[in-house]
Amino acid sequence: MRKILIFLTVFFLFCSFVFANSFNVGIYDLDNDLNFDLNEFCSNFFQYKFDLSSKELQYQDDLTLYNNSILLNQKIKDNYSKNTKPEINTLNEENKNNNTSINFIELEYVANCDSYFIEGDKVLLKQLCLEENLSLIFIPYTVVVSDFIRYRICLFNNLENSFSCIYDRLLPKNQLIPETEDLLNSLSSVFYKNYCLVKILGGDFELASVEPSGYIIHDNFVILPSGDFIIGDFSFSVNKEKNLEINVNDKKIFAENILINSKIGNLNLLINNYLQFKTPLHLDEIEVPYTLKVTKDGFKDSVIQVSNNFSNFNFDLNPSWIVTQNKFEDSRKEFYNSFALSIGLFAIRVVSKSLKEDNFKLYSGIDSFIYGVSIINLLNVANKLFIYYKSSAFLAP
C-alpha cells in the first residue's frame, strides 16, 4: 500500500512538472446564457504560443525549478525509506524545458465569489494563479439586457498583475454563439505579438493541418506566425498581415506557346509593363491574366489585357498622323457649326429689330437676349477658329 501511495505521489508531481512547462491559462466561466464553451473554443484555436516574452520565459523557468526541486526532494525521501544511497542531481540549464504549448484549464466554481471575479479582485486571482500555475485567467460572463445578451470576457494577467475587459458585445437572444472571426481578433493579441488570422475559403478544411508546422484548422480559421505554409497542394506566405483570406481552389492558369508578331516589325513589346522585348517574339509560358503593350515611333500605342490562354497575337498599328487627321476633322466641323450658329443668330436679331417697332416691350427683351447670345457665340467662333488652325498646322502630309 505504501509503495502505491509513493508511486501516485511521484506520478502526480511528474504531471505537475509537465503541466507547469505549458503556458497555462485558467477559465472561470460565469456564462449562464449562451450556448458557447470558451474553454473548447480557445483550446481549438490557440494551440501554441510562438513568441514568448522575457517575463513569460522567466515565469516558466521559475516554475520548472520549483517543480524539479519537489521531484528531487521526493526521490531523496524514497531512497532513504529504502535504505539506499540517494542520487542527487544538480539542477542545470539542460534540465530546463520550455514547452510553448498553451494549456487551458477550466477552474472549479467558487460559491459566493462571482463579484470578486467580475470586479477583478487581484488578491484572489493572484492566489489562484499561484495554486494552479497559471499565467492568465479568462473570466467570461453574461448579463441579459432587454432583447440582447451582453457577453463580456475579462482577463487577469498574473505576470503584469493587471485586470481588463478584452471582449464586450451585445448579442441578440437568437444568436447564442459569438462570431468566430470577431472573437479571434479580440483574443489573439492576448497571446501573440506578431500573428496572422488566416481565413480559408474554397472548401471544408475542418481539422486539416497546415504544413510544415502542423497547426490545425477549425471552422476554416487558423492562427499562424510569419512564414511559408502549405494546405494540401496550395502554398501561401504570411508576412506582416493581421488578417489574410485565401482561396485554396484558386489555381494559376498559364498560357503556352505564345506568338506575338506584326506586319510592321521590330515593335517594342512590354509584358505586364516591365518586361521589354522586340517583336516578333515567342513565349513558352506566362501566367494569366497579363498585359501586352506594343509601341513604335510614329505609330499609336496598342494595349490589350489577356484573361485567357489565347496564344497568337498580331499587332497592326495605325500611324500617329491618323490620330492628328481625326482631330483636324473634328475641329473643322466644330468651327463651321459655330460659324453657322452665329449667322442664324444674326438673322434672328434682324427679324426681332424689324418687329420691335410694332411691339416694343415684347421684342425689345428678345432682341437684348439674342444680342447677348451672339456676343458669346462670336467669342466661341474665334476659339474654334484658333483650334482649327493649330490642328491643320500639325497635320502630317
pLDDT band at 318 (very low <50, low <70, confident <90, very high): low
Percent of the chain at pLDDT above 90?
28
pLDDT given at position 249: 74
Q: In this structure, is residue 195 part of a structural domain?
A: no
One domain for residues 262 and 373: no
Percent of the chain at pLDDT above 70?
64
One domain for residues 7 and 116: yes
Q: In this structure, is residue 190 part of a structural domain?
A: no
One domain for residues 258 and 129: no
The arithmetic mean of pLDDT across residues 371-392, rounded, is 68
φ and ψ at residue 3, rounded to 5 degrees = -65, -40
One domain for residues 123 and 10: yes
Whether 201 has a pLDDT exceeding 80, the answer reads yes
**Tens digits of residue pLDDT in 109-156:** 998 999 999 999 999 999 999 888 899 999 999 999 989 999 999 999
Q: In this structure, is residue 92 part of a structural domain?
A: yes
Q: Which helix (H) or strand (E) covers residue 3, if one does?
A: helix 2-21
One domain for residues 54 and 101: yes
Q: In this structure, is residue 68 part of a structural domain?
A: yes
One domain for residues 21 and 119: yes
One domain for residues 7 and 135: yes
One domain for residues 267 and 341: no
User: Dihedral angle at the C-alpha atoms of 33, 152, 158, 38, nearest 10 degrees?
Assistant: 50
Number of neighbours of residue 268 by Cβ within 10 angstroms: 14
Among the candidates 283, 299, 314, a domain finishes at 314
β-strand pairing of 196-201 with 243-247: parallel
Q: In this structure, is residue 373 part of a structural domain?
A: yes
pLDDT band at 366 (very low <50, low <70, confident <90, very high): low
Among the candidates 314, 331, 348, a domain finishes at 314
One domain for residues 133 and 261: no
Q: In this structure, is residue 213 part of a structural domain?
A: no
Residue 299 is part of which domain span? 253-314
Number of domains composing the chain: 3
Among the candidates 261, 286, 314, a domain finishes at 314
Q: In this structure, is residue 368 part of a structural domain?
A: yes
Judged by average pLDDT, the poorest of 34-38, 209-213, 263-267, 291-295 is: 263-267
* Higher-confidence position of 33 and 93: 33
Cβ-contact 311, 258 below 8 angstroms? yes
One domain for residues 113 and 7: yes
**Tens digits of residue pLDDT in 202-242:** 877 888 889 887 889 999 999 998 889 998 878 889 988 88
Q: Which helix (H) or strand (E) covers residue 4, if one does?
A: helix 2-21
Q: In this structure, is residue 269 part of a structural domain?
A: yes
pLDDT given at position 283: 78
| Percent of the chain that is helix, strand, coil (3-state, to 5) | 40, 30, 30
One domain for residues 285 and 302: yes
pLDDT band at 88 (very low <50, low <70, confident <90, very high): very low
Distance between start and end Cα atoms, the chain: 115
Whether 347 has a pLDDT exceeding 60, the answer reads yes
One domain for residues 285 and 327: no
Cβ-contact 64, 17 below 8 angstroms? yes
Cβ-contact 13, 74 below 8 angstroms? yes
pLDDT given at position 396: 45
**Tens digits of residue pLDDT in 242-290:** 899 988 876 667 788 888 887 776 778 788 776 666 777 777 778 777 8
